[in-house]
A and B are shown apart, each in its own frame.
Chain A
Amino acid sequence: MAYFSGLSDALRITFVQIMILSTIAIVVFLYGMIINFQKWGSGVTGYGLEPQEGKKGSAIRFLKTWWDQVTEESHHHGKPILEVLILDILFQRRILKRSPLRWFMHFTIFAGWMTLFALSGMMFGVEMTEKIGIELPFTPAEFREMLAVPNYIFGYILLIGVLIAVVRRLFVSEVREASIMYDWILLGGVFLVTISGFIADGIRTGFIWGFGLDPTTAPPAALFHSVISLFFCIAYIPYSKYIHVIATPLAILANKGGE
């Protein structure tokens, strides 16, 4: 059962292979998130308190403390939760206020990354629907074609942001000098996933990003892209700077949009 339209049977990526890899990625992600939630949950539940004697960090404690802070009344800085969700988290107003260029860079990465992730999720959903025998008005192959244009658009949006980020970190001295491995791994991962996606697609379609590579290399290129995407986009999140995609929105919500 082919997941990706490989050109030879030997190099065909099967649905089972992808499912196994995805499951591994999700398990690794969940394990890391549980550890993080427990680490955060080793904190106290309120201002000026101490942890309870003998109690280990608990994910439930973290979630409860976070929710209590989100819903508590604010003395000065608090903004309505909907405003925070739309303007501070989705639109990333706090970055825009500080640096329009950095906002453009981050917003294009965010919009590209999240939309491609969502499109991949939709594609996965259609494949799964077909596998369990539910009939849809289109086949998975047709649906893939329908997604081709948005995939390209958001792929290029992502690419623009990633290239700005790479140039900025490499050539702006104050950014380069302040960078540590924690930062480089994040950017390197995003760059690798983005570029490998373009190349895998280019080899398959024969367009410019294929760089004239042998079409038989399309399946392994796609496999490589899939594996590192699962690694950087899912599995590695809790163990790296990628955690900010979860922690930052939670922090902004907890602090009602910040000061």
Chain B
Amino acid sequence: MAKRTPSIDTKNLTAVQLMELDSCTRCGECVKWCPTYAASGQKPGLAPRDKILRWRQYMNKSYGVKARLFGPEEIPQAELEEFKDDVHGCTTCGICATVCESGINTVELWEALRTNLVKKGIGPYGKQNMFPKLIGQYHNPYLLDQKDRLAWVPKDVKIEDKADIVYFTGCTAGYKQLALAFATSRVLNKLGIKFAMLGEDEWCCGSALIRTGQMHINDLPRETAKHNVEAIKKKGAKKVLFACAGCFRAAKVDWPRLLGQELPFEVVHITEFLADLIKKDKIKWEKSIDKTITYHDPCHLGRHVGVFDAPRYVLSHIPGVTFVEMDRVKEFQRCCGAGGGVKAGIPDLALAVAESRVKDALETNADILSSACPFCKRNLMDGRDALKADIEVEDVIVLVAQALGLSVEEPKQG
């Protein structure tokens, strides 16, 4: 009789991650805090604790004592498919890691499990499988022409050919949410900051591939990271500014790891840059925004890399702003629901999470729900619209532009 082989393998799962499965004490903290578990109506399979339990059982069935003595136990394909659905029903927001009493790095565990399953031909989820083709072929996930990377740039914005500072626009701001790009570029101009942009040489940061378990496909994230780093070096940049939390996280954490070396430039989020200028008294506000504003921490900016204070500092220094906090903020923030490929793969779930977050904001009676990520903004707006709530959703940099008397609109032709 042929020897049975395990139904799963350990590709992409590190030895430490396999140990982490056994370190879970099932305290249930992750279940209490998980935004997708809550928004799904507490679907048991989405609970982080349950996912850890299942993969531990799979590991024991495949490589445990019983498997060693009597051979691996088969895991039905349908069960693995169901597991795939559940492991993709996660925004990789990382709250489970923050509250985990065993200190498990759950975000990387989920990403590794996704990649492991994708390599086995199970997953990704829904439209997420378009990312490798789109990013590989078009260098952006929106099927748009790379030549149009700078098509949004209005005549009043001055971009240097080479400069110490590069503004990395990101696909979403550069193609879809132009107000963010207008605001960032005009604010920098207004403050006298000379900056360059990569234009056609700016490729997708690779975040969508890494978060959805497709980092191995044609080695695309490494290729895009390498390309972007080289393009930034050619511009002579010492500092790269990001207004997109997803790109920022990718450049700060994923690029150095993919390339196996530290980057030859500083990676800075626009809110950190502005907070520094405010501290040096280099910003002269021109308008007052007489509104109450609350702030949603993007997971990729906050929990993933620890930028919590800079956006709050900027907002609270805008004249006329009354800053209020929501119930769940900073490291305990509730995710907007868009991350981890959920917006692309399971939009209904993303919307349900966004609604929860908008409700948090409504409880503060704020006029504006701000954030520092175009992806969060998009999903929070969808949540706001679904609730028919009367609250403005706006990015911090757009509010800064307004307070500096700048337009974030495209200039009228003629």
Interface residues of A (CB under 8 A from B): 32, 35-36, 38-51, 57, 61-62, 65-66, 69, 75-77, 88, 92, 94-95, 98, 102, 174-175, 178, 180, 182-183, 239, 241, 243-244, 247-248, 250-252, 254-255, 257-259
A47 touches B15 (CB 8 A): no
Asked if B27 CB lies within 8 Å of chain A CBs, one says yes
Q: Within 8 Å CB of B216, what residues of A? A: 48
Contact A254 B16 (CB under 8 A): yes
Partner of A244, one of B16, B24, B28, B304: B24
Does B103 sit at the interface, judged by CB under 8 A? yes
* Segment touching A, from B6-14, B162-170, B381-389, B399-407: B6-14
Tell whether A51 pairs with B305 under 8 Å between CB atoms, given A61-B15, A244-B102, A248-B25.
no
Residues of A within 8 A of B29 (CB): 98
Partner among A62, A75, A259 whose Cβ is within 8 Å of the Cβ of B303: A259
- B63 near A178 with CB under 8 A, answer no
Residue with the greatest number of chain B CB neighbours at <10 A, chosen from A43, A69, A77, A241: A43
**CB–CB A94/B19 < 8 A:** no
Q: Is the CB of A43 within 8 A of B18?
A: yes
CB distance from A46 to the nearest CB of B (A): 7
Known interface pairs A250-B19, A255-B103, A258-B97; A39-B64 also in contact (CB < 8 Å): yes
For A44, A65, A183, the residue with the greatest tally of chain B CB atoms inside 10 Å of its CB is A44
Flag if A98 contacts B99 (CB, 8 Å): yes
- Type the 1/0 row for B94-108, where 1 means its CB is closer than 8 Å to any CB of A: 100111111111001
Q: Is B18 a contact of A40 with CB atoms below 8 Å? A: yes
Q: Which residues of A contact B27 (CB under 8 A)?
A: 95, 98, 102
A76 proximity list for chain B (CB < 8 A): 253, 304-306
> Does B5 sit at the interface, judged by CB under 8 A?
no
**CB-based contact B13/A44 at 8 Å:** yes
Q: Which of A44, A178, A239, A244 contacts B11 (CB 8 A)?
A: A44
Of chain B, the residue at the smallest CB distance from A96 is B101
B26 engages A258 (CB within 8 Å)? no
CB distance from A105 to the nearest CB of B (A): 11
Contact assessment for B11 and A50 in the assembled complex, using a CB-CB cutoff below 8 Å:
yes
Does A178 lie within 8 Å of B26, measured CB to CB? Answer: yes
Contacts of B59-77 to chain A: CB distance below 8 A: 59-60, 63-65, 68
The residue on A at minimum CB distance from B258 is A48
Which residues of B sit under 8 angstroms from A41, Cβ to Cβ?
15
A61→B28 CA distance, assembly (Å): 31
Q: Is the interface of A mostly helix, strand, loop or mixed?
A: helix
Return chain B residues, CB-CB under 8 Å to A244.
22-25, 102
Chain A residues, CB < 8 A from B215? 48
The residues of B with any CB-CB pair to A shorter than 8 Å are 9-20, 22-29, 31, 49, 53, 59-60, 63-65, 68, 94, 97-105, 108, 115, 215-216, 252-253, 256-258, 303-306, 331
A43-B13 CB under 8 A given contacts A76-B305, A244-B102 = yes
Q: Is the CB of B102 within 8 A of A32?
A: no
Nearest 9 CB-CB pairings of A with B: A258-B103, A43-B15, A247-B23, A251-B23, A65-B15, A252-B103, A247-B22, A43-B18, A248-B23
Q: List 18 A-B contacts (CB under 8 A).
A: A39-B60, A40-B19, A44-B12, A47-B14, A48-B12, A48-B216, A48-B258, A51-B10, A51-B11, A61-B15, A77-B306, A94-B100, A94-B103, A250-B23, A251-B20, A251-B104, A258-B100, A259-B94
Task: Verify A32–B25 contact, CB threshold 8 A.
Answer: no
Question: Out of A48, A95, A178, A251, which one reaches B16, CB within 8 Å?
Answer: A251
Q: How far is the CA of A57 from the CA of B29 in the complex (A)?
A: 31
Known contacts A43-B17, A48-B215, A183-B26: does B104 contact A258 (CB below 8 Å)? yes
Closest to A67 in B: B16
A32 vs B330: C-alpha distance in the bound complex, in angstroms?
Answer: 42
Given contacts A175-B28, A251-B102, A251-B104, contact A35 B68 (CB under 8 A): yes
Report B-chain residues with C-beta under 8 Å of the C-beta of A259: 94, 97-98, 100, 103, 105, 303, 331
Nearest B residue to A254 via CB reads: B16
A102 to chain B, nearest CB (A): 7
Partner of A75 from B9, B100, B305 at Cβ < 8 Å: B305
